[in-house]
Each structure stands twice: as structure tokens, then as C-alpha cells.
Amino acid sequence: MGQEELKVFRTTLTPTVRGAISKVRRWFYATFYSKERGDVREASKENWTRLARMLVEKTSEEGVSDKAGRISLYYYVKDGVFVPVRAEIEVFELKPVGKIEFEITSEA
């Protein structure tokens, strides 16, 4: 694949997969869209739009949009253009594992 290096962007664990998709969106616009102009910017946006649609469709099909998750996005930058290659969506179930209660008393 020439000189391009495969890069990875990974979100932190978020309460919902939908939130993880939003983090990827904010990262894309801050990293690629705001810094480029013209054809490069439009090509990156087309690639992002296709990726975003796939992320939403896949998570909806699997019924995991509201579960906790993290997204790892593998991509190249070719002549300044964002080119996504693969996405991994890790899905988690957050369950309470216990409860700690205590009372705060003031010492008078």
C-alpha cells in the first residue's frame, strides 16, 4: 500500500455506542474537516458520511446502540484524505456489582 501508515483512533468506553459514534464524529471533524479545504475536504467528508451510515446501521441491526461501548477505527490518510478501512465496535453491559452506603455525621 505505498507509504501510507495504517492509523488507529480509539474512543474511550462510553455509556452508549451512540455516544461512541458521536465521539468519532467530533474527532473526524476536528482532525480532518476543519483543517482542509476544497476537494480533499469533500473527499474526506464523503468517506466519513459513508462510515457514519455504516456505524449507525450495524449498531441498529445488532440492537446495541444503547449499550456501553468503544469504537476502534482503522484508517489511512492518503494525500490528506481520510480513508477508513475497518471499524471495531466493542459492546459492554454495565451491571451494578454492589452498593456501598454510609452516613456522614458531623462531630459537634
CB 74 within 8 A of CB 84: yes
Give the Cβ contact number of residue 48 at 10 Å.
Answer: 19
Please write the tens of the pLDDT for every residue from 85-101.
999 999 998 788 899 99
Whole-prediction pTM value?
A: 0.82
Q: How confident is the model at residue 38 (pLDDT cuts 50, 70, 90)?
A: confident
Distance CA 11, CA 13 (A): 6
Kindly tell me if the per-residue pLDDT of 15 is higher than 60.
Answer: yes
How far, CA to CA in Å, does 11 sit from each of 25, 83, 89, 99? 11, 18, 10, 28
- Distance, CA of 83 to CA of 29 (rounded, Å): 14
Q: According to the model, what pLDDT value does residue 3 have?
A: 61
